[in-house]
């Protein structure tokens, strides 16, 4: 390795410039060992190689004399077979369009009978322009029997109503059923004796009449099941 | 297109309250069919076109007073109609759960086949099917050039697009339609 030759470097000149930072005398860059000694030999070898290759590769006689002409001929030939540049103008139509206009001159769409006559009347009537009115509020005429879009919007409302009813029904039963189930479960967990003792202890004087009225029907049906013997036995015991 | 003089008379009459209704009647008679067909070719379905035409003329009625005479009336009408159609088609796309960035008009294909008011021959049906494979902008330009025979300058004024871009759109549309016809022989 060797450092850059600094014999004729610019550092001394730069040092004289006002405000210029003081650079180190030795450059930080280095080259491989003996690089400059071998450089001349490498260059000469390269020149010999180039000379030899130029002598071995030859071109036909007068090649360069006709090269330009041949290039121009090639360009002319390729341009003649190339896709023509599309002329985008009003005057020139695409060839396909000429054929298309022959077979498909219209869009093929039609309108209901007397549509435009009705449309004109409809617009005039509802804007008030046909009768000399100053009605500016416009109510758009939508034939119910033809309104596919309105029908689909009604379908939307119906679907929304169905969902609301379904959710309401589900919510109703969800609110009701768990209450009933939990009440029944709790009631089943209490023994009859506990209920009787509770009622005996907490019942008010008027409760008897309430219970009597509440279970009147049941008592009626039960009475029909009592035999004469049962009634006589009950009366013997009670009185 | 329409003679400019007649449009200026319509606008002048509309500015006067006494002749406003008469002016609007003249405007309706003059432009309703043109606007209808412009809309119909874009939205395909007659009922949708009918709704839109009514909406468009209501807007015209409410805004004609503010129309500036430096523009041509028919380009102003076409611009309103085109904007209404594009808004409608975007809503329809959303209804079909399509992205607004999706440029295809293919979602209208079913409308074409189920439309009661189509009386075209096989080639015309094929042309409409081909048109529905195009991006909306190209379909719009093609319709205005091919069916409505508008000049590029006029289309440019309506759509606010350069003539060069319109020519490119039209050319691309024609190439794609030609390809569609070749592939569906």
Of A90, A123, A129, the CB nearest to B54: A123
If you average pLDDT over residues A212-222, what whole number do you get? 50
Q: Once rounded to an integer, what is the mean pLDDT over residues A20-24?
A: 53
Residue A194, pLDDT score? 72
Distance CA A100, CA A94 (A): 10
CB contact under 8 A, A86 and B171: yes
What pLDDT score does A220 carry? 47
Question: Measured between beta carbons, which residues in chain B are less than 8 angstroms from residue A120?
Answer: 28-29, 32
Question: Given pLDDT bands bounded at 50, 70 and 90, which one contains residue A221?
Answer: very low
Q: Do A119 and B121 touch (CB under 8 A)?
A: no
Residue B148 has pLDDT above 50, yes or no: yes
Say if B169 is an interface residue toward chain A (CB within 8 Å): no
The string of pLDDT tens digits covering residues A101-114 is 888 888 888 888 88
Please give the angle made by the CA atoms of A224, A227 and A231, to the nearest 5 degrees. 100
Residue A76, pLDDT above cutoff 60: no
Q: What is the pLDDT of residue A239?
A: 52
Please determine, for residue A24, whether its predicted confidence score (pLDDT) is greater than 60. Answer: no
Does residue A4 surpass a pLDDT of 80? no
Q: Which residue has the higher pLDDT, A205 or A34?
A: A34
- Which of A148, A159, A220, A158 is CA-nearest to residue B111? A148
Q: Greatest CA separation found in chain B?
A: 59
Using alpha carbons only, give the angle B1, B158, B104 rounded to the nearest 5 degrees: 120
Note the pLDDT of residue B81.
Answer: 97
Mean pLDDT of chain B: 88
Q: Do B29 and A120 touch (CB under 8 A)?
A: yes
- The SS3 call for residue A108 is coil
- Check CB contact of B146 with chain A, cutoff 8 Å: yes
pLDDT at A91: 46
Query: Is B46 or A92 the better-scoring residue by pLDDT?
Result: B46
How far apart CA B108 and CA B99 sit, in angstroms, is 15
8 Å CB contact of B28 and A120:
yes
Looking at the DSSP bridge assignments, the partners of residue A239 are: none
Residue in chain A nearest B41 by alpha carbon? A107
Selection from A143, A138, A112 nearest residue A125 by Cα: A138
Spell out which chain A residues touch chain B, with contact meaning CB-CB distance below 8 angstroms: 86, 88-90, 94, 96-97, 100-101, 103-112, 115-116, 119-120, 122-124, 127-130, 132, 136, 138, 140-142, 146-149
Substitution target from A97, A99, A108, A139 for chain B, most B beta carbons within 10 A: A108
- For the segment B92-107, the average pLDDT, to the nearest whole number, is 73
With a cut of 80, say whether residue B27 has pLDDT above it. yes
Residue from the list A103, A112, A130 with its beta carbon closest to the beta carbon of B117: A112
Q: Which of the residue ranges A89-98, A215-224, B62-71 has the most confident prediction, judged by mean pLDDT?
A: B62-71
In chain A, whose CA is at the least distance from the CA of B31? A120
Q: What is the average pLDDT across B174-184?
A: 93
Mean residue pLDDT across chain A: 63
- 8 A C-beta contact, residue A124 and residue B28: yes
Three-class SS state of A66: helix
Instruction: Confirm if B138 and B74 have CB atoms less than 8 A apart.
Output: no
Confidence check: pLDDT of B36 > 90: yes
| Closest-CA distance of chain B to residue A159, Å | 16
Q: For chain B, percent helix, then strand, then coil, each to nearest 5?
A: 75, 0, 20
E strand or H helix that includes residue A30: strand A30-31
Residue A154 has pLDDT above 80, yes or no: no
Residue B44 backbone zone (phi > 0: left; psi -120 to 50: alpha; other: beta): left
Q: Categorize the per-residue pLDDT at B172 as very low, low, confident or very high, splitting at 50, 70 and 90.
A: very high
> B74: exposed, middle or buried (C-beta count within 10 Å: 0-12, 13-18, 19+)?
buried
**In chain B, which residues have their Cβ closer than 8 Å to the Cβ of A141?**
54
Of B46, B125, B174, nearest to A108 by CB-CB distance is B125
Tell me, what's the pLDDT at A80? 57
Taking one residue from A and the other from B, the number of pairs with CB-CB distance under 8 angstroms is 125
Q: In terms of Cα–Cα distance, which of B150, B135, B52 is closest to A123?
A: B52
Q: What is the mean pLDDT of residues A84-89?
A: 50
More confident residue, B185 or A78: B185
Average pLDDT over residues B1-16: 76
pLDDT of A84 over the 50 cut: no
CB-nearest to B124 from A106, A111, A146 is A106
Given this model, what pLDDT does residue A142 score?
A: 53
Distance CA(A160)–CA(A145), nearest Å, equals: 22
Closest C-alpha among B48, B85, B138, B170 to residue A94: B170
Using the beta-carbon criterion (under 8 Å), do A104 and B121 form an inter-chain contact?
Answer: yes
Report the range of poorest mean pLDDT among A166-175, A178-187, B97-106, B110-119: A178-187
Q: Where are the alpha helices (DSSP H) in chain A?
A: 11-15, 35-56, 63-81, 95-103, 115-127, 148-189, 192-202, 207-214, 216-225, 228-238
* Alpha-helical regions (H) of A107-191: 115-127, 148-189
Residues A104, B124: C-beta atoms closer than 8 Å: yes
How far is Cα B113 from Cα B131, in angstroms, rounded to an integer? 13
Region of residue A30 (phi > 0: left; psi between -120 and 50: alpha; otherwise: beta): beta
Residue B52 pLDDT > 70: yes
The yes-or-no verdict on residue B171 having pLDDT over 70 is: yes
Residue B3 is predicted with a pLDDT of 47
């Amino acid at each position: 390795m060797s450092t850059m030759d600094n014999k004729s470097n610019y550092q001394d000149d730069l040092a004289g410039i006002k405000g210029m930072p003081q650079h180190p005398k030795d450059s930080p860059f280095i080259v491989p060992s003996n690089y400059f000694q071998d450089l001349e030999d490498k260059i000469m070898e390269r020149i010999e190689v180039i000379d030899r290759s130029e002598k071995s590769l030859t071109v036909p006689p007068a090649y360069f004399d006709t090269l330009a002409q041949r290039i121009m001929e090639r360009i002319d030939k390729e341009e003649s077979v190339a896709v023509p540049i599309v002329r985008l103008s009003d005057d020139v139509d695409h060839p396909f369009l000429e054929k298309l206009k022959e077979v498909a001159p219209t869009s093929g769409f039609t309108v209901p009978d007397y549509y435009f006559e009705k449309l004109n009347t409809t617009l005039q009537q509802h804007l008030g322009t046909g009768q000399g009115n100053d009605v500016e509020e416009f109510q758009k005429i939508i034939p119910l029997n033809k309104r596919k879009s309105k029908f689909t919007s009604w379908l939307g409302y119906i679907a929304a109503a169905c969902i609301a009813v379904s959710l309401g029904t589900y919510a109703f039963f969800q609110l009701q059923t768990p209450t009933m189930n939990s009440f029944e479960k709790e009631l089943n967990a209490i023994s009859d004796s506990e209920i009787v003792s509770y009622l005996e202890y907490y019942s008010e004087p008027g409760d008897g009449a309430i219970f009597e009225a509440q279970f009147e029907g049941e008592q009626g049906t039960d009475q029909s099941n009592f035999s004469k013997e049962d009634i006589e036995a009950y009366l013997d015991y009670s009185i | 297109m329409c003679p400019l003089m007649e449009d200026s008379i319509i606008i002048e009459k509309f500015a006067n309250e006494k002749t406003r209704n008469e002016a609007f009647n003249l405007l309706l008679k003059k432009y309703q069919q043109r606007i209808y067909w412009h809309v119909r070719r874009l939205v395909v379905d007659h009922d949708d076109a009918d709704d839109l035409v009514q909406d468009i003329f209501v807007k015209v009625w409410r805004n004609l007073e503010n129309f500036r005479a430096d523009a041509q009336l028919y380009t102003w009408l076409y611009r309103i109609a085109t904007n209404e159609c594009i808004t409608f088609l975007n809503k329809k796309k959303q209804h079909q759960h399509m992205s607004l960035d999706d440029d295809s008009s293919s979602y209208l294909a079913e409308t074409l086949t189920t439309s009661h008011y189509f009386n075209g021959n096989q080639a015309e049906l094929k042309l409409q099917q081909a048109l529905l494979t195009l991006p909306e902008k190209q379909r719009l330009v093609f319709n205005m050039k091919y069916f409505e025979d508008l000049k590029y300058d006029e289309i440019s004024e309506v759509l606010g697009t350069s003539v060069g871009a319109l020519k490119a759109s039209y050319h691309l549309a024609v190439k794609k339609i030609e390809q569609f016809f070749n592939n569906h022989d």
